Amino acid sequence: EVQLVESGGGLVQPGGSLRLSCTASGFTFSNYWMTWVRQAPGKGLEWVANIKQDGSQKYYVGSVKGRFSISRDNAKNSLFLQMSSLRAEDTAVYYCARDPCGGDCYSDYFDSWGQGTLVTVSS
Amino acid sequence: DIQMTQSPSSLSASVGDRVTITCRASQSIYSHLNWYQQKPGKAPKLLIYAASSLQSGVPSRFSGSGSGTEFTLTISSLQPEDFATYYCQQSYRTPPITFGQGTRLEIK
């Protein structure tokens, strides 16, 4: 069974930093593109960033470029999101999600999701 | 960036009703359109990919259609567990991957 478990959320002051983690199990993590999607309270879904199987390609939504960094450790089946210069508008539940295309491909949609971790940016 | 617009934003319906939700793209995305269901406090769940392909394990009362710029998600006979928020998402011209604003389906 595919499982994705996020951690690392919490309360942080504006301008602060936080590192989110997502631990994967039940599949060969290194074969899949992985993604972070966020959802502000009471709002819709927003794609944040994704990363290729080997970490050689990374893409970001414009509002987080230069502030967030996505990375992965395939040996530890883990995905990360380093967030810095946090703003109130970054407050959201952050989900990690898997692209279903395993291998040298990508689909850019998501067949498995974690339960999410809440990041609150407030003084 | 490709903008995705769903209509209606909210919808009230009864168990047994046939329901249709529409998603429009700001430019042609061919069949690169996906649908998700999200219940309160839960992660989204993939229902339909590539406009009309049913994800494994999803009941057959869910169906998707369309191509180009206009797409629909249809629930043929609403069940109590179907009351949720539905999102469309384009996977054609990325990045960025973009979602519709959501359609909240409520019990009448």
Distance between CA B62 and CA B52 in Å, rounded? Answer: 10
Q: Which residues of A80-102 are buried (b: 16+ CB within 10 A; e: fewer)?
A: bbebeebeeebbbbbbbbbbbbe
Spatial separation of the C-alpha atoms in residues B34 and B48, rounded to whole Å: 5
* φ, ψ dihedrals at B80, nearest 5°: -55, -35
A71-116 residue pLDDT tens? 999 999 999 999 999 999 999 999 999 999 988 888 999 999 999 9
Look at residue A102 in the predicted model and tell me its pLDDT: 85
The encoded tokens of residue A3 equal 């499982």
- Mean pLDDT across chain B: 97
Give percent of chain A with pLDDT exceeding 90.
96
* Separation of alpha carbons A20 and A58, rounded Å: 16
> Residue A111's closest chain B neighbor by CA?
B46
Share of chain B above pLDDT 70, in %: 100
B22-72 confidence digits (pLDDT tens) = 999 999 999 999 999 999 999 999 999 999 999 999 999 999 999 999 999
Distance from CA of A40 to the nearest CA of B (A): 12
On average, the pLDDT of chain A sits at 97
- Which of A6, A45, A65 should be substituted to probe chain B, the one whose Cβ sees the most B Cβ atoms within 10 Å? A45
Return residues 14-73 of A near B (CB < 8 Å). Answer: 35, 37, 44-47, 50, 59-62
